Amino acid sequence: MSVENFKDLNDMHKDVLLELGNIGTGNALTSLSQLTCHPIQMDLPHIRITDIDSLGDNIDFPGNQNAGVVIDVHGDLDCVITFLLNEKFAKVIAEELSGETVDSLADMNDMQESSIREVGNIMCNSYLNALAAMLESEFSVSLPNLKLGTNRDILDTFLGKFKDETSDLLFIENTFFYLDQAFTSYILLHPKFESLQRILEKLT
């Protein structure tokens, strides 16, 4: 079978992607627990393949004060990866790591914004490191860029990078259990066409 996009993958290929998600989740848990000094648990990730037009239907974050940490990746893998979290989760992170109350994400101080960027950086790089090992590749990453606003605002920043390359997206849903609360977040991976083909070739 010729595999030209993520949607052509069969169940065996998807099992490889799920294992990638499991490794990334394990890496993230260790780093986040050390950062927060609190135990963190996560459900096994749900990995789906979607496209740009359908992405908004898979994310149910209301309001206009959500947060996204966007990282550009270059080298053997050219892609954009984003950690997307809702207002409540972003506030908990900022307050726990800064020790100060957050009334609004728009009014956060530098330390609070930095704490969200750092958690996003940990999450994104946990999956990127697992992907690098799978692809036997090396690549560099940009500094994490924090974007606040509606889902559409954040997704436009994410999707605008390679919108003419491929509509395929790898969509990873994670549920965190932290401070007796459950929080849902998403990792979105949007590759250039050549990088998509490299991933697919390795899977097949």
pLDDT of residue 114: 95
The CATH number assigned to the domain holding 79 equals 3.40.1550.10
pLDDT digits (tens, 9 = 90+) for 60-101: 777 778 999 999 999 888 889 999 999 999 999 999 899 999
Q: Is residue 89 part of a domain?
A: yes
How many CA atoms, within 13 angstroms, populate the side-chain half-sphere of residue 35? 23
Domain that holds residue 117: 6-203
Taking alpha carbons only, the member of 31, 36, 47, 34 closest to residue 131 is 47
For residue 172, what are its two tokens?
């990873």
pLDDT of residue 81: 92
Q: Is residue 75 part of a domain?
A: yes
pLDDT of residue 204: 65
Number of independent structural domains in the chain: 1
pLDDT of residue 72: 93
This prediction has a pTM of 0.87
pLDDT digits (tens, 9 = 90+) for 128-178: 988 888 888 888 999 999 999 988 888 888 877 777 777 778 888 888 888
Q: Is residue 1 part of a domain?
A: no
Q: How far apart are CA 138 and CA 53, in angstroms?
A: 30
CA distance readout (Å), 35 to 24, 40, 47, 98, 111: 17, 10, 25, 12, 14
Q: How far apart are CA 128 and CA 57, in angstroms?
A: 25
Q: Is residue 165 part of a domain?
A: yes
Residue 116 CB contacts under 8 Å (≥ 6 apart), including other chains: 67, 69, 85, 90, 93, 94, 108, 146
pLDDT digits (tens, 9 = 90+) for 18-37: 777 888 888 888 888 888 88
